[in-house]
């Protein structure tokens, strides 16, 4: 499976590199930085197309640490990995190191998806599942200097290890995922459910109880470490939650957020940039939700629970103007079970596979063009 994942990974890197080269050739670097004061905000050339917006914050945190509770919404594992890489590399190439970490994590994520697809969906599914992931319209965030690829790799292997009854490894991966993104909360129910399924009908031995403890404690432990740091550092254990308000985002129930998104879509000027991003965000979330529900009969319950959790959290923060569910399409990227299902269906239905690969790639190219031009796409 690693060879398969490597082939998909290398092929997509070549395509992204060619796309970046032509984009740099035709579109110059903006004169004014658009993402704060991070080192990625000023990067010209090929690398600079991939390390702006949130990536600039991750790099700045890696170099300077957390100086304010307002930036604790950027969870610490990815900046820590960048920091470790800068110490090994002398600190002169922080942008490149951020990209290397993200892309190696993407390789691990594709490997995990292939392993899990073969286990759950059969021998024909791994290639199709990996291709379905890379064709997702927002999949370029797995290549950029963002934390999505690190989280995806950890989440995939957390569920894979749980299905294989390797509870220590599953707990470690889940705890680290919870230190990477708030979406780590979506792993709690899948792990607990999977343990309960495996323990059902059997004796509650010391080993079984130990596995249950690991399943239940992994996500709270990872999240608790981060909240505990915020409490120790600033006396604000809920600083990551409160930091969302500084970005003008407020909590909302998923159904309320979707209602606001539909209303904003209707009200947005036709063919405007806001309408286009809304279509991308809302369309991706609804597509993954529908596929998750349809595939629930075939996929293990743990995978369905994880996907529903990710999608719910993805739309749980709303903005009062513009796109009410900003970045929802990017956040939903890590809901890999419906993408696995799409891949498995496509392996049996060539027209469906071709439609997803062509349509998803074209949508991704359109979004990536805007992202590389320093426009907000998620």
The residue to which tokens 């993805």 are assigned: 314
Which of these, 371, 80, 237, 172, lies nearest to 88 by C-alpha position? 80
Cβ 170 vs Cβ 154: under 8 Å: no
Whether the CA torsion 351, 352, 354, 359 is positive or negative: it is: positive
Tell me the C-alpha distance between 140 and 148, whole Å.
Answer: 10
DSSP code string of 167-223: HHHHHHHHHHHHTT-GGGGGGHHHHHHHHHHHHTTS---HHHHHHHHHHHHHHHHHH
The predicted pLDDT at position 236 comes to 94
pLDDT < 50 stretches in the chain: 31-40, 42
CA angle 310, 300, 177 (to 5 degrees): 40
**CA gyration radius, the chain:** 20
Q: How much is the pLDDT for 373?
A: 87
pLDDT at residue 37 in the model: 44
Beta-carbon contacts of 274 under 8 Å, excluding residues fewer than 6 positions away, are: 264, 268, 322, 323
Residue 68 DSSP label:
-
The string of DSSP codes covering 221-271 is: HHHHHHHHHHHHHHS-TTHHHHHHHHTT-EE--HHHHHHHHHHHHHHSPTT
CA nearest to 182, candidates 143, 151, 221: 151
Question: How do residues 60-85 score in pLDDT, each as one tens digit?
Answer: 999 999 999 999 999 999 999 999 99
DSSP-assigned states of every residue in 100-146: HHHHHHHHHHHHHHHHHHHHHH-TTHHHHHHHHHHTSTTGGGGTSSS
Q: What pLDDT, on a 0 to 100 scale, did the predictor assign at position 42?
A: 47
pLDDT at 134: 98
* Residues 87, 377: Cα–Cα separation, whole Å: 32
Cα separation, 273 vs 73, in Å, equals: 26
pTM of the model: 0.95
pLDDT for 43:
56
Q: Which of 173, 247, 248 is nearest to 215 (CA)?
A: 173
Longest dimension (CA), the chain: 67
Residues 325, 285: contact at Cβ < 8 Å? yes
Is residue 197 within 8 Å of residue 301, measured between CB atoms?
yes
**Among 376, 360, 369, CA closest to 20:** 369
Contact 118, 126 (CB under 8 A): yes
The pLDDT of residue 32: 44
Closest CA to 77 of 180, 150, 172, 202: 180
- How far apart are the C-alpha atoms of 244 and 253, rounded to whole Å? 15
């Amino acid at each position: 499976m690693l060879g398969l994942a490597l082939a998909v990974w290398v092929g997509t890197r070549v395509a992204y590199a060619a796309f970046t080269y032509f984009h740099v050739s035709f579109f110059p670097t903006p004169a004014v930085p658009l993402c704060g004061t991070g080192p990625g905000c000023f990067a010209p050339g090929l690398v600079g197309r991939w390390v702006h917006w949130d990536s600039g914050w991750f790099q700045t945190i890696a170099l300077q640490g957390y100086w304010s509770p307002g930036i604790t919404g950027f969870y610490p594992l990815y900046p820590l990995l960048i920091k470790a890489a800068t110490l090994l590399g002398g600190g002169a190439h922080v942008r490149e190191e951020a990209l290397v970490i993200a892309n190696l994590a993407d390789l691990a994520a594709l490997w995990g998806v292939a392993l899990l697809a073969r286990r759950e969906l059969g021998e024909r599914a791994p290639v199709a599942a990996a291709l379905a992931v890379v064709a997702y319209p927002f999949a370029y965030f797995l290549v950029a200097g963002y934390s999505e690829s690190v989280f995806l790799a950890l989440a995939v292997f957390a569920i894979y290890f749980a299905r294989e009854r390797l509870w220590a490894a599953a707990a470690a991966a889940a705890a680290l995922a919870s230190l990477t993104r708030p979406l780590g909360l979506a792993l709690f129910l899948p792990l607990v459910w999977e343990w309960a399924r495996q323990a059902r009908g059997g004796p509650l031995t010391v080993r079984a109880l130990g596995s249950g403890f690991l399943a239940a404690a992994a996500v709270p432990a990872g999240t608790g470490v981060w909240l505990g740091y915020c409490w120790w550092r600033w006396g604000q254990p809920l600083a990551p939650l409160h930091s969302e308000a500084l970005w003008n985002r407020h909590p909302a129930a998923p159904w309320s957020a979707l209602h606001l998104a539909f209303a904003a879509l209707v009200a947005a000027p036709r063919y405007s940039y806001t309408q286009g991003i809304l279509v991308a965000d809302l369309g991706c979330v609804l597509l993954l939700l529908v596929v998750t529900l349809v595939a629930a009969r075939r996929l293990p319950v743990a995978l369905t629970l994880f996907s529903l959790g990710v999608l719910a959290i993805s739309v749980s923060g709303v903005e009062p103007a513009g796109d009410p569910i900003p970045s929802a399409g990017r956040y939903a990227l890590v809901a890999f079970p419906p993408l696995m299902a799409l891949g498995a269906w496509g392996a049996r239905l060539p027209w469906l596979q071709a439609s997803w690969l062509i349509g998803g790639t074209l949508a991704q190219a359109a979004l990536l063009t805007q992202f590389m031009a320093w426009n907000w796409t998620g």
